[in-house]
Amino acid sequence: MFRKLKYTFIGRPLKSLTNGEGGLLGKMQALAMLSSDALSSIAYGPEQVILVLVSLSPLAIWWSLPIGIFVLLLLASLTISYRQIIHAYPQGGGAYMVTRENLSPELGLIAGGSLLVDYMLTVAVSVASGADAITAAIPALHPYNLHISIFLVCLLMLLNLRGLKESASSLMIPVYLFIFSTVFLLLYGFFQLFTGSLNYQATSTIGQTVPSLSIVLLLRAFTSGSASLTGVEAISNAVPFFKTPKEKNAAQTLTIMSLILGFLFAGFLNYWMGITPQHGETILSQMAKGILGDSFFGHASYYLFQFSTALILAVAANTGFSAFPMLSYNMAKNKYMPHLFMEKGDRLGYSNGILTLAFGAMILLLIFNGNTERLIPLYTIGVFVPFALSQTGMIRHWKKEKGANFLKSAFANILGAIICYAIVLILLLFRLGDIWPFFPIILVLTFLFLSIHNHYQKVAKQLRLYEGIEKRTYDGNLVLVLVGNVTRVSIGAINYAQSIGDEVLAMHISTKETAEKDQEILQEFADYFPNITLKNINTSYRDIITPSVKYVKRIAQEAKQKNYTVTVLVPQFIPNKPWQNILHNQMSLKLKYALRWHEDVVVASYSYHLKE
């Protein structure tokens, strides 16, 4: 039954193809799958700049133009840097790998941990924004914002569990619909501007003095606008997902995404039209209304544009679903995360990473009741810390590669590092009250990563073969069979034990409640196996696991003195149909789990299969 449900929602297993192309992404699919987070920021990034400026005066809106230029400069720097990272580290991992290889493993863990948390925030913030856009169009659904958000997380999780290609194909419509509709809106707006049909209504002229304007306000506006660049690094994390040539395709996809993002962000039509923030309506929505007009075509185009905006906000979370599993894989490969993150599922995706990300995002949504405004500053610091570290790492990379002539190659990285560190400093100085949870979270994660790595190091040391290793031999094998009732299962287990053991014992636990029945069991066992000793242990409690473990430990000590191995054989029957397991207790599983922690004891199962 579980398998049928799994096949229905996730699909049948895919073969691991030897050519390495099965389930991998072309540029068009990758752009849809990996760029939705960055592109969707057009819906809120420029508006955040204007909201900060308008808090002083509408006259300050013209400052959004030079701020936008600086954001574009940072975008260009990051694009060049991450293109370099793609070619230098084609195994993926992005900022984590660059920082680890060029700065230090500890700083690499800070970069990796920041991105892991940021991808969870990406999912939570994106689906909550998508839910807000949906409920804004259908106000009756407003009380169900949280439910819609969690539903969107589950939907994206299932799409990604089905595999890369299916997920990318499902996302191509909303992503490309948003790109085409936004490009059309801007081109149509510029056409109206050049033909004189779009009136100049700016709140102030460029260069106009704004009373009480401070550098602090401009810096806050710049950091708010820089949030539009979250998700730019995702492609560098996911290079292994691309079809060959992987690095070339990934680099070209990153360039295409950055050009589209830059064009969409650079539109200054909202300044030309004099648009100011209005309660209940975004600046992008006001701009679309003003450009498209009141005709039937204008109304239809406006609603299509709003629909595409809501869709891309809802699916922007998929960038996290693409990048988180790959980053987890690289950190697990370096033994800083559990090895289960390196395992591929039936559909050739890193299923454990996908499930972990979805679970973390849903926890965030539940904690903040689907309202993620308080998480946005964490969202920003979470991405600019690894941005800054990766830029610094690439400077060190070029210093090692080029020697004294490194400045030409590292110029974009130096510029990007300066801007990124400036943004981090601004956040520390002016938004510390909002971002302080980031630091204890990263400290805890770093400690966890180091503890996991230390464990794997100890395991490797203890398992490693070395010259002169002791080869121990045993004089015999003592098999202890746990007997609950005398049935075909226990009889089969005793017969099997006699075939593998030099000495066979049986053990039964008696409680006060079952005293009368236990006497029948002892007599029945003696009739079937007169030559096998059955140890009956009485207990005053209902728990049979503790006395069983105590007896096994005692037998193991006695066997050690005789240089015998001890095998504990746990009989169990297997129902004809898997669902029937829930009708029976799982005492055999509990016993095996309790016994597995004891040294010098081999725990084995004897399974008797029922036919009906």
Split at pLDDT 50, 70, 90, the class of 293 is confident
What is the average per-residue pLDDT within 134-157?
82
The Cα–Cα gap between 243 and 8 comes to 27
Kindly tell me if the per-residue pLDDT of 527 is higher than 80.
Answer: yes
Kindly tell me if the per-residue pLDDT of 336 is higher than 90.
Answer: yes
Average pLDDT, the chain: 83
Could you report the per-residue pLDDT of 507-521, keeping only the tens digit for each? 888 877 667 787 888
pLDDT of residue 19: 41
Alpha carbon distance, N-terminus to C-terminus of the chain: 18
Could you report the per-residue pLDDT of 339-398, keeping only the tens digit for each? 989 887 655 578 889 999 999 999 888 887 766 566 667 777 888 899 899 989 999 988
DSSP three-state, residue 529: coil
Kindly tell me if the per-residue pLDDT of 91 is higher than 60.
Answer: yes
pLDDT of residue 10: 54
Split at pLDDT 50, 70, 90, the class of 538 is confident
Kindly tell me if the per-residue pLDDT of 281 is higher than 80.
Answer: no
Cβ proximity of 336 and 109 under 8 Å: yes
pLDDT of residue 266: 62
| CA-atom Rg of the chain in angstroms | 32
pLDDT of residue 4: 58
Q: What percent of the chain has pLDDT over 70?
A: 90
Q: Closest Cα partner for 424 from 385, 376, 475, 458?
A: 385
Could you report the per-residue pLDDT of 401-455, keeping only the tens digit for each? 888 888 888 888 898 889 889 889 988 888 888 788 889 989 999 999 999 999 9
pLDDT of residue 371: 63
What DSSP string runs through 345-410? Answer: -TTSS-HHHHHHHHHHHHHHHHHTTT--GGGHHHHHHHHHHHHHHHHHHHHHHHHHHHGGG-HHHH
Strands 533-539 and 503-511, sheet pairing: parallel
Judged by average pLDDT, the poorest of 263-267, 365-369, 503-507 is: 263-267
Strand order in the sheet with 564-574: 533-539, 503-511, 476-482, 564-574, 602-609
Residue 288 CB contacts under 8 Å (≥ 6 apart), including other chains:
185, 301, 302, 305, 306
Kindly tell me if the per-residue pLDDT of 215 is higher than 70.
Answer: yes
Could you report the per-residue pLDDT of 13-59, keeping only the tens digit for each? 555 554 444 557 788 888 887 887 788 777 777 877 888 888 888 89
Q: Closest Cα partner for 496 from 602, 596, 572, 569?
A: 569
HEC assignment per residue over 439-450: HHHHHHHHHHHH
Residue spans of alpha helices (H) in 267-350: 269-272, 283-292, 296-315, 318-333
Cβ proximity of 71 and 347 under 8 Å: no
pLDDT of residue 31: 83
pLDDT of residue 443: 93
pLDDT of residue 18: 41
What is the average per-residue pLDDT within 150-175?
77
